A and B are shown apart, each in its own frame.
Chain A
Amino acid sequence: MREIAKVAFRLFLIMILAGLCLGATYTVTKDPIAQQELLQQEADRRAVLPEAATFEEVAIEPTGAVTACFRGLSESGEPCGYALSVTASGFGGDIAMTVGVSDGVVTGVRIGTHSETPGLGAKAADDSFLSQFMGKGGDLTVNKNGAQNDSEISAITAATITSRAVTSAVNEAVALAGSLE
């Protein structure tokens, strides 16, 4: 009995110490992490809608893949499109994306955190795939044999699920931005 109490107590002490260390680190890093995330989101919005100087959040119904919507304002204060945060369900989990839409066409797509297969689906974050969306709009579809016309997107080799997920998320963003205009 005594032996068990001693063992349990020592393990308890180790756990408490580990917990305290974790708590301390969490407290110290909480604000910087939140700030980094905000900065990253702001930078993503700027990247997908380069015309905009400032952004204001637009209240939307939280339905579908779009989680947040920002209206871009040019330097003279004119609205110049939308930057939308979209969550796509990819092959390995959720893909956080930012999509810029102006006049019904895509002005840029950025991929944030994702858990797609490295070397395959993870290539979706590369410019060579995302630049295909630029200037396109309407209902885009994925073609495994390469894009044949303006409403098609070439799939990433061996990552059709990821390609489709990203494309359908872009479609949703374009549709939502269209309904706001």
Chain B
Amino acid sequence: MAKQDLKKIFLNGIVTENPTFRLVLGMCPTLAITTSVLNGLGMGLATTFVLVCSNFVISLIRNFVPSKVRIPAYIVVIATFVTIVQLLLEAFLPSLSQSLGLFIPLIVVNCIIFARAESFASKNPPLASMADGLGMGLGFTISLSIISAVRELIGSGTLLGFPVLGSNYPGVLLFILAPGGYITLGLVMVAFNAVMKKIDGRRRAAAEGSVA
């Protein structure tokens, strides 16, 4: 596998096929946990870890798993990794486990992980699958961070727990509650896709220009 291909696979997850804004996957955790930047970041990184591991293992066993039972097989692999991560965090990083505790079991039902297993890891060699997992995971982390930054700033006037808008800022409760999650998600998605369209258009124009 050439280096350039790995880089392309990696960037694919962050920009071109960003799981939240382009593939629109994993909406349940996205809406549920983006109330503060710390939560968004933690959930994103924990998901990235599980995604890289599960993509690697599923890619290794891709020729062994009969296609009829691939879904239970993948779910077992993913759930095993999530449980291992949870146990290890509890035993050796109790403070991180305390702040993330609630979200770790949620990773099992994150459809990004399953979607990547099905559409990428089951068809590609291990190294490429890990690059895909890392790209998709970081893409998810970045998206969650952006959404949670907007919600935390408007909803409670803080960023990463530090008061940014002054201690007298009353906070807009709507943005902490679920409807604020939908509104923010929609607006950020529009912005992301508008920027992408512009970049795409410019790239295409440049390509045409060089041909002519």
Binding site for B on A (CB under 8 A): 6-7, 10-11, 14-15, 18, 21-22, 25-26, 28-29, 32-33, 36, 40, 113, 115, 118-120, 157-158
Contact = CB atoms under 8 A, between A and B. Distances in A.
Chain B binding surface SS class: helix
28 contacts: A7-B66, A7-B68, A7-B69, A10-B65, A10-B73, A11-B73, A14-B77, A18-B80, A21-B80, A21-B84, A25-B84, A25-B88, A26-B87, A28-B91, A29-B87, A29-B90, A29-B91, A29-B92, A32-B91, A33-B90, A113-B98, A115-B102, A118-B33, A118-B39, A119-B155, A120-B177, A158-B173, A158-B177
A122 to B, nearest CB: 9
Contacts of B73: 10-11, 14
Interface in B70-109: 72-73, 76-77, 79-80, 83-84, 87-88, 90-92, 94, 98, 101-102
B156 interface: yes
Give the size range of B's interface with the partner.
20 to 34
B205 interface: no
B173 A11 contact: no
Contacts, number: 67
A26 B91 CA distance: 10
Interface string B32-43: 110110010000
Closest 5 CB pairs of A and B: A119-B35, A29-B91, A32-B91, A119-B176, A18-B80
Contacts of A10: 64-66, 69, 73
Interface in B43-61: 61
Nearest to B78: A18
